[in-house]
Structure 1
Amino acid sequence: MTAITRGELDAPIPPPGRDEIGAMASTLGMLRDSLIERDRLEHERRRAEAEIRAARDTAQAALRELNAAQANLIQAEKMASLGQLTAGIAHEIKNPLNFVNNFAALSTELLDELKQTTRPALVALDSDGRAEAEEVIATLTGNLQKIIEHGRRADNIVKSMLEHSRGVTGDRREVDLNALVDEALNLAYHGARAQDQSFNITLERDFDGKLGRMQLAPQEMTRVFLNLFGNGFYAAAKRARENGDASFRPTLRVATRDFGEAVEVRVRDNGTGIAGEIRDKLFQPFFTTKPTGEGTGLGLSISYEIVTQQHGGTIDVDSEVGRFTEFTVRLPRQGNSRGAESRE
């Protein structure tokens, strides 16, 4: 009995007899059987709880994946509808816009000829008349230059709309992702320097040497990285201008990571940041935080489509106003184009 109280339920029990000791042995046997059954039920309860927890965790993970897939599907449907809409609008706008641009350029040339032809008549006018005529000609010339300038901007917007409406295409092949990211980073930096000689930023590279090669559409992914780098440059330079702190150093950090079945590219700048209320709008076509004339609002929209639809990946953003913005592009190594899957 002492052994049983210690939990040794397999201790031998004397065979029951007819005397008091036998009765006690019989009772002790029943007690041991009861304890064994209790331990079995406790073990079953714990196993059932573990199975319930595992099932709950699986269900929660499936729900998260379902919500993410639903969000991607809604975004893809919105993009498809907007693509069709923008294609129609762009085609309708392009023809009259071409007439505006062509006739504005032609009118500028005719105005130059008019100035040459009427020069003798202008000389014959008194000083007030000549000044008034020259002022009108200068105003007309300035107006035509503005028409040409904004016409070209509108033409670029129309081209971007048409490019967006066609979706993304591109042949997939095996490439070194680290080399692709580094090449795009150098290209974006020198492009920014060509536009503004005073531009400068510290570039930090943290490339995973185990990343290796993977299948993707290099031209399309280069477009994605150029857009992300360009946005990072813009935000960091803007903070440098507005900060007024001479010690502030604009910085863009690019990191790659290998996760086996997927790879990650993180682009982080220490710029102005993005407010939470507009973060959900970043990937919508034509949404931009840049001033008029500095952005069409299609860069991130096209990037989203390239990453999610063409490569089956994800693109997320984390930001804190006045501190940083970080975009994370995650690409599956064996990811297929969702658009291609839907056409099979």
Structure 2
Amino acid sequence: MSIDSFLIAFLLIRHLRKFAQNTGLAPFWDRTLLRAQYAALALLVVDVIIDEDHVFQWAWHVFLLGLLWFVYPRPEFRPTRNIVSAVFPLVLVNIVVDFIELVAPAFDKKYNNYFDMAQLLAFGWVIAAWVSTQRQQKALEKERQKRLEEEERNRLIAAQNTQLESMVAERTAELVRQKEELEETLTELRATQAQLIQQEKMASLGELTAGIAHEIQNPLNFVNNFAEVSVELCQELNDELAKVDLSDSDRDYVGGIISDLVQNQQKIAHHGKRADSIVKGMLQHSRAGSGRKEPTDLNSLADEYLRLAYHGLRAKDKNFNASLVADLNENVGKVDVLPQDMGRVLLNLFTNAFYAVQQKQKRNPDAQYQPTVTVSTNRCDEDVEIRVRDNGVGIPDSVRSKIFQPFFTTKPTGEGTGLGLSLAFDIITKGHGGTMEVETEEGKGTEFIIRIPV
């Protein structure tokens, strides 16, 4: 029985199968080597059962040579050539020894010790090659494991770096967002402060206006009442005059005087009522609003404040005259707004418009220029539109984007606080949910467009 040949074949096949599995070769090779392993086991069983040593010795030689011849030229098994090459001498020595024993038994017996020594050396060479191969494989496996650990470490470091960069980016974005929120809050606080200052000024002015209006109201009531009583007295005097016997000339003379007195008293009563209306308007304007929206006739409100702003400027400059154009659409009707706040907006826009045309007139005193301020209203599908247009000096492009900022003004120092348009913009956008836009051309005029949802 050739147990040594079986062990060599079995170990060699096992080594080749392990190599094929570790290197990921095609499953074909593993199946082929497994079949070779089964064939070696089958040959060993037959060798044990049939006691024909010489026959099976040559069968093992053929099996080993066939295995070596099949594996050695394959490029897939190139890394295993070291161990395969080491098996070749052992197989060749065994073949030579068995051949000599078969054809020259006497020679084999005489030099048997040398043949055994050759077989032992060949077998030792296989063992040495096997040990060397195992060491190389362990070294390669250790190097591969080290490389895998290094790759895993690098992957973890890269993942941590990515995570850190992501955290830094998120933190940076959060800081930028907080900075922007703080800046926005600061801007809102400044705007609120400016509005509070303006509201305090308006409240003080309202109290002053209310006090003056009340003081004027009392003597004005006496003027109106006595004017009406005087008209009635003149009518009674006329009636009594008809009962007195006078000449025609005297009767006409006295009647003319009485008629003149009636006309004068009627004029006093008319202008007294007009003054009373103005005083009531001042009281209403100075009265603090309820904070609730009320149905308001925007056409009447716009017309009232247009004339109030005009007469306010004429009170300062008697030589100033302008054309007032009111194109008010009756379809506008009543709209839910804050009347006092909307009045402040319109008064501010009209005052600015009259100031603009006045400045243009002063710059071109000899030109054929007619100052004109126009207010128009219109009702669209979802909002009401108010337009205030003038043909004044216009707004330069360099400051157009700043006109709604608090404390910004184009007027000389002392003539404007820079809070009017800012307050008007906030009243329209924040108080009424509308929009306020401006269209202007320097030297030709400006138009403010207010849209309020209904």
Report the TM-score when normalising by structure 1: 0.50
Q: Relative contact order: is structure 1 or structure 2 higher (C-alpha 8 Å, sep ≥ 6)?
A: 1
Say which structure is richer in helix: 2
Report the TM-score when normalising by structure 2: 0.38
When Rg is computed on C-alpha atoms for both structures, the one with the higher figure is: 2
